[in-house]
Amino acid sequence: MAVIAAFAGSAIGLGNIWRFPYLVGENGGAAFILLYIGFTLFLSLPIFLAESAIGRSQQVNCRAAVSFLVPGRAGKWFGFLLVLTPLWVVSYYSVVGGWSLDYLIRAVSLDFVRSTPEQLSGSFERFISHPWVPVLFHLGFLGATAAVVAFGVKSGIEKFCKWSIPTLFILIVLIAVYSLTLPGAGKGVEYLLKPDFSKVTAHTFIDALGQSFFSLSLGSGIVITYSSYVKKSENLMVAGVGTALSDLSFALLAGFSIIPAVFSAGIEPGAGPTLIFDTLPFIFSNLAQHAPILSALASILFFVAIFIAALTSSISLLEVGIAYLTEDKGFRRGWACVLLFVLCGAFGTLCSLSFGPLSQARLMGLSLFDFADSAASNVFMVLGSLISVILAGWVIPRSELFRELTNGGTQHANARLFPAVRFLIRYVAPLGILALILSSLI
Ligand code: PHE
């Protein structure tokens, strides 16, 4: 359970609650969800197992693990990609973390309870387009992440995770139930359950795959790094399945909380990254009209839990870079945190400003924030995952992969599944990823 909790702490975060619902909205609903579930079970789970076997067999940070398996320059660059990706992600992740911090403060000051849905509409737009307030929140969130990583209060984080993740689960179930009773919610449910395959394009596939990787924290050195700390007696297959199922069910619950409310509020489902921040105040201020105390309590607990879920993910993101700087480059932990805070803070500031003063800036037709996000999940994480499955499927000897995934053959159920898992790692995952890369290029 402790191993699953640590992986789930990294996996469950803003990816489930913020990113998943808005991608569902942008990609036409049920068909996207089906693709996402399929990718998670048949591609992402094997990749998770591949990465965890690499981490536990090598027992070093991800850059060192990759250079050990692939000697020479190529190995160095591959390893570097795995270190760079989480730093790139944490830069814009903490922009959204900053938004959730702002919402937490608003929930505590009873803003959602005191205002009507009409008064709240447009308030998020005004907040993120402000020239410096959201930047301050972004730096505040990143600073909190760096501070936790610098002090290394690992046991504190584990204690936080232990109650915050179950709390978040209970709250999201309650919110889903409430959201389903809102007038007009039925249209949202239909949207989530009735696939419209005519809307599916190559882009839907790549978005679903990218989301699956993002949500399970794949292709970013994190699973490799965390697994290097896992004891040899732990069952990696059980940890992988447990993490994937809890991550998947959490995303689906978030979808069923947000999308029906989106339809009830008359918000545009394809609104993009701002979707949940427009929808949640609507849910809470609606609830406040019949049950103000319940709404106040639920909104505060909800945003505290989101904030902590986001923080446990951003900590895992920053930790990969810190491990590299301290182990390989001889940095002190505190200075490594300061350096990464400055670099990621600067890059994230540009992403944050793309909702305000820099809204006209475009890279490959996307705003800076959207560019950062799709480069990470649709390119860097996809490449990182491809490297991982090739290493686990073709470079590490079969006997070593078998030993890691079956605990030396002592787990009989794992040993029976092993040939199928290895087939997925060796052929299905790399070919599936390559096919998607090619189709998206075309
Ligand atoms: N999986 C995390 C989430 O869903 C984000 C993340 C991405 C964490 C990549 C680590 C690596 O919020």
Mutation probe of ligand 1 site: the residue of 17, 47, 217, 226 with most atoms within 8 A of C-beta: 217
**Whose Cα sits closest to atom 11 in ligand 1?**
217
| CB of 60 closer than 8 Å to CB of 435 | no
pLDDT of residue 187: 95
Ligand 1 geometric centre to CA of 387 (Å): 19
Q: Which residues pair with 366 in a beta bridge?
A: 363
**Any residues with CB less than 8 A from the CB of 354 and at least 6 apart, and which?**
361, 367, 368, 369, 370
**Whose Cα sits closest to atom 6 in ligand 1?**
217
Mutation probe of ligand 1 site: the residue of 93, 99, 225 with most atoms within 8 A of C-beta: 93
Ligand 1 geometric centre to CA of 89 (Å): 8
Mutation probe of ligand 1 site: the residue of 149, 214, 318, 379 with most atoms within 8 A of C-beta: 214
| CB of 95 closer than 8 Å to CB of 352 | yes
**Whose Cα sits closest to atom 9 in ligand 1?**
217
Q: What's the CA angle centered on 89, arms 67 and 1, to 5 degrees?
A: 75
Residue 86 three-state SS: helix
**Any residues with CB less than 8 A from the CB of 240 and at least 6 apart, and which?**
45, 48, 49, 52
Q: What type of residue sits at position 62?
A: C
**Any residues with CB less than 8 A from the CB of 98 and at least 6 apart, and which?**
134, 135, 136, 137, 138, 139, 140, 141, 142, 352
Ligand 1 geometric centre to CA of 10 (Å): 6
Q: What's the CA angle centered on 28, arms 25 and 33, to 5 degrees?
A: 85
pLDDT of residue 156: 61
Helix axes 275-290, 236-265, angle to 10 degrees: 70
**Whose Cα sits closest to atom 10 in ligand 1?**
217
pLDDT of residue 121: 81
Ligand 1 geometric centre to CA of 14 (Å): 7
Ligand 1 neighbours (beta carbon < 6 A): 10-11, 13-16, 86, 89, 214-215, 217, 220, 222, 313, 316-317
pLDDT of residue 153: 57
Helix axes 236-265, 398-406, angle to 10 degrees: 70
pLDDT of the chain, 442 residues: tens digit per residue: 777 878 888 899 999 999 999 999 999 899 999 999 999 999 999 999 999 999 999 888 788 889 889 989 999 999 999 999 999 999 999 999 999 999 999 999 999 999 888 888 888 899 999 999 999 999 999 999 999 888 875 666 666 667 777 888 888 898 899 899 999 999 999 999 999 888 888 889 989 999 999 999 999 999 998 898 888 999 999 999 999 999 999 999 999 999 999 999 888 999 899 999 989 888 899 889 889 998 998 889 888 888 988 998 998 899 889 888 988 899 999 999 999 999 999 999 999 999 999 999 999 999 999 999 989 988 899 999 999 999 999 999 999 999 999 999 999 999 999 999 999 999 999 999 998 888 777 7
| CB of 117 closer than 8 Å to CB of 281 | yes
- Which atom of ligand 1 lies nearest, measured to the CA of 310? 12
The number of angstroms, rounded, from the C-alpha of 91 to the middle of its chain's C-alpha atoms is: 13
Ligand 1 geometric centre to CA of 93 (Å): 9
Q: Which residues pair with 363 in a beta bridge?
A: 366
**Separation of alpha carbons 13 and 306, rounded Å:** 7
**Separation of alpha carbons 313 and 118, rounded Å:** 33
| CB of 63 closer than 8 Å to CB of 82 | yes
Helix axes 73-108, 333-353, angle to 10 degrees: 70
DSSP symbols for 321-365: HHHHHHHHS---HHHHHHHHHHHHHHHHHHHHHTTTTTTT--BTT
pLDDT of residue 155: 63
pLDDT of residue 61: 79
**232 token code pair:** 């040899």
| CB of 209 closer than 8 Å to CB of 43 | yes
- Which atom of ligand 1 lies nearest, measured to the CA of 15? 4
Helix axes 30-39, 236-265, angle to 10 degrees: 170
**Separation of alpha carbons 46 and 69, rounded Å:** 19
**Separation of alpha carbons 283 and 393, rounded Å:** 47
Ligand 1 geometric centre to CA of 217 (Å): 5
pLDDT of residue 98: 97
Continuous H helices in 218-235: 222-227
